[in-house]
Amino acid sequence: MKGLLQLYVQQFKTTFATMFQYRASLVIWMIGQVLEPLVYLIVWSTVSNGNGGSIESYTTGAFVSYFIILMLVNQFTYTWVMFDYEYRIREGYLSFALLKPVHPIHSDIADNIMSKSITLPVLTVIAIILGLAFHARLSVTPWLAVLFVPGLLLAFALRFLLEWTLAQSAFWTTRVSAINQIYFFLLLFLSGQIAPLSILPRAVQVAAKILPFYWTIGFPTELLLGKITVTGALLGIGVQVVWLTIAVFLVRFVWRLGVKAYSAVGQ
Amino acid sequence: MVNCNQDKSGSTSRSAKQPAANAVVQIQGLSKTYMVNEQEAGAKATIRGIFHRKKTEVPAVDDISFSMAPGEIVGFLGPNGAGKTTTLKMLSGLLYPTWGSATVLGHIPWKREKAFLRQITLVMGQRNQLVWDIAPIHSFELNRVIYRIPLDDYQRILKELTDLLELGPLLTKPVRNLSLGERMKCEVAAALLHRPQVVFLDEPTIGLDVTMQRRIRAFIAEYNKRFGATVLMTSHYMADVAALCRRVVVIHHGHLLFDGELSILLQKFTSHKTISIQLGECQVDLNKYGEVLSCEEGRYVLRVPKAETARITERLLADLPVVDLLVEDPPIEEVIDRAFTEWNP
């Protein structure tokens, strides 16, 4: 455990050093992270205003809050491993990772935590400015605020493991970008990134709640927004735990198969 | 100890050679066959390929056996595509074999047990393990915690490696700003920080200039001497092999062709020698003594059959006003090239 902790600390330093080698691209990347929810925020606020100030249970102010919180939640749970994996395999980095007596997932976890501890404070400031500029409304109860913490952490763990599992498709195919596109399309639609799930058709809501996508972004966002009851929040956390258990199993299972496939072919 | 054998049953010299009891690396009948999708030319074939992929078996390594004693440096030779890298990858646990067995330090490599991984390393001359955008020292520090090297040991080893490889100013420069040779020195250092007992080197000097090759070579020799590490290395530069490896293992098309002392391999495939003689001018016809390879300012270079060398030398000295005479073996590259050409399994 101590060894793993030291590894995390060292990986934090490495990520920190790497990120500051490319300061400009870091800024550009953060702008991109802000722009997408900002576009949805403006679109839905306009539609809401045109609809007499609300759509279903969402007032214009609630839309603004939803997309600002979503921006932060998405940033918190976002991973880039699906874009990296194919490159790692093609360039032989995975071989070096396999030669080391530590599972490569640890580097990714540490890398993720460090990157976010740099980008999140900046995005939080941007979120506050946007909230003030667009008159966001937030009415959260203390219980929901407390439950938001495990909800968010579980959302990150779940999304991280699912994306790590999917990223491993690179073990079998060199065309991972097609898989990534399908995944990100589903995520965009079913996680609540494009619109709050509760204003989408009932069938979509059911599908989204059966699948894991909603639990990685939409759920913690609606939780903090006060759109879920305390019971609903507890149930949601229960669903997250179930999905997380499945994801842990999946990531291990696919890893074992993937390494076997990789070891059969080599790179 | 010569083992020239192309017999797949392994019933001849291979069975005669018993693996040493204390062998660090032990390989028995190791084989690896890749399944490769065949791609035919033409639109029709491409469309057909969508529905039905034709797969062919490509044997990369076929039934090779050898063992290595502790502290030995063995040169692993063979032309491109002979199966050297595949073998090294199997021995370091990156590839499952199709057939056969291997142990390294008593471990089955492809199980990739932590205790095994902590004691070995693989340096691939054409691949990088260092993080590209930042200074090598960060990657070194990362390896320190990955391999759980105590801080005191790490500092001492790092100092030793820095001195031996002259890494000083390179440690804090981003890897992308280092030259190929500088990067390779750092790659080698990163791979050896945990002081592995078994070192697999795959073309560690590829693309480097002569000076840098020599430095890496000297370092490998020093590392082997100082820590008693067992080293299996491939290289296309025969100077590396000649300087470091008394013993060589030769494979070609996946088959083991030779396992023994380099000097015996050279002797076996050296059919000619070169005789250089210094005469006054280049006007004399020396073709009756041997094949004249060149003549510059009276210095003739003749190629003569090895068995005839003594007789021809004697005749040259008796017949001509020779100022100086030198008998040499042909360059090692030439001999090895000849060995690969003649051995066609």
Does any CB of chain A come closer than 8 Å to the CB of residue B278?
A: no
Please report the pLDDT score of residue B15 as a whole number: 35
- pLDDT tens profile B99-150: 999 999 999 999 999 999 999 999 988 788 888 888 999 999 999 999 999 9
Q: Look up the pTM and report it.
A: 0.84
- The DSSP symbol for B154 reads H
Please report the pLDDT score of residue A255 as a whole number: 95
**β-bridge mates for residue B233, sequence order:** B75, B201
Residue A139 has pLDDT above 80, yes or no: no
- pLDDT tens profile B203-226: 998 888 888 889 889 999 999 999
Mean pLDDT of chain A: 91
- The DSSP symbol for B107 reads B
Would you place residue B310 in the very low, low, confident or very high pLDDT band (cuts 50, 70, 90)? Answer: very high
Would you place residue A267 in the very low, low, confident or very high pLDDT band (cuts 50, 70, 90)? Answer: low
Q: Which residues of A touch B107 (CB under 8 A)?
A: none
Please report the pLDDT score of residue A108 as a whole number: 94
Closest CA to A265 of A84, A92, A85, A81: A92
* Nearest chain A alpha carbon to B98: A264
Q: Which residues of A touch B134 (CB under 8 A)?
A: 14, 17-18, 21
Please report the pLDDT score of residue B344 as a whole number: 64
CA distance A185 to A177: 12
- The DSSP symbol for B329 reads P
CA distance B232 to B199: 6
CB contact under 8 A, B117 and A14: no
Please report the pLDDT score of residue B49 as a whole number: 67
| Cα angle: B143, vertex B234, B127; to 5 degrees | 40
Range scoring the smallest mean pLDDT among A159-173, B35-49, B52-66, B75-89: B35-49
Please report the pLDDT score of residue B7 as a whole number: 35
Amino acid at A133: A
Percent of chain B past pLDDT 70, that is, above it, reads 91
Which of A8, A23, A95 is the best residue to mutate to test the B interface, defined by the most B CB atoms within 10 Å of its own CB? A95
Residue B151 has pLDDT above 80, yes or no: yes
- Domain ranges across chain B: 13-267, 271-328
Please report the pLDDT score of residue A266 as a whole number: 61
Enclosing domain of residue A252: 2-265
Cα separations in angstroms, B73 against B184, B241, B245, B250, B280: 20, 9, 5, 14, 46
CB atoms within 10 A of CB B252: 21
Residue B254 has pLDDT above 70, yes or no: yes
Average pLDDT over residues A131-151: 89
Would you place residue B2 in the very low, low, confident or very high pLDDT band (cuts 50, 70, 90)? Answer: very low
The CATH superfamily assigned to B13-267 is: P-loop containing nucleotide triphosphate hydrolases (3.40.50.300)
Closest CA to B144 of B176, B192, B186: B192
Cα separations in angstroms, B3 against A174, B61, B261: 42, 17, 10
Paired tokens of B92: 């370091």
Q: Which fold has domain B271-328?
A: Alpha-Beta Plaits (3.30.70)
Contact A43, A74 (CB under 8 A): no
* Nearest chain A alpha carbon to B123: A96
Backbone angles phi, psi at A21, to 5 degrees: -75, -30
The two beta strands, B272-278 and B299-305, are antiparallel
| Cα angle: B176, vertex B238, B248; to 5 degrees | 110
Paired tokens of B93: 């646990």
Query: Which conformational region is residue A226 in: left (phi greater than 0), alpha (psi within -120 to 50 degrees), or beta?
Result: left
| Cα angle: A142, vertex A64, A115; to 5 degrees | 75
Range scoring the smallest mean pLDDT among A63-67, A210-214, B59-63, B327-331: B327-331
Determine the 3-state secondary structure of A145 from DSSP. helix
- The DSSP symbol for A92 reads T
Q: How many domains does chain A have?
A: 1
Paired tokens of A267: 């790179």
Look-up: residue for tokens 């013993």?
B247
Between positions 120 and 139 of B, the ones with CB within 8 A of A are 120-122, 124, 127-129, 131, 133-135, 138-139
Please report the pLDDT score of residue B330 as a whole number: 80
* Nearest chain A alpha carbon to B137: A14
CA distance A65 to A61: 6
Average pLDDT over residues B30-36: 88
Distance from CA of A122 to the nearest CA of B (A): 23
Return the half-sphere exposure (C-beta side, CA atoms, 13 A cut-off) of residue B206.
15
Cα separations in angstroms, B273 against A217, B264, B293: 77, 15, 12
Average pLDDT over residues B271-286: 87
Residue B168 has pLDDT above 70, yes or no: yes
Residue B6 has pLDDT above 50, yes or no: no
Please report the pLDDT score of residue B236 as a whole number: 83
Backbone angles phi, psi at B164, to 5 degrees: -65, -40
CB atoms within 10 A of CB B281: 8
CA distance A39 to B187: 46
Closest CA to A253 of A171, A185, A175: A171
CA B254 to chain centre: 15
- pLDDT tens profile A203-244: 999 999 999 999 999 999 999 999 999 999 999 999 999 999
Q: Which residues of A touch B34 (CB under 8 A)?
A: 265-266
Please report the pLDDT score of residue B345 as a whole number: 54
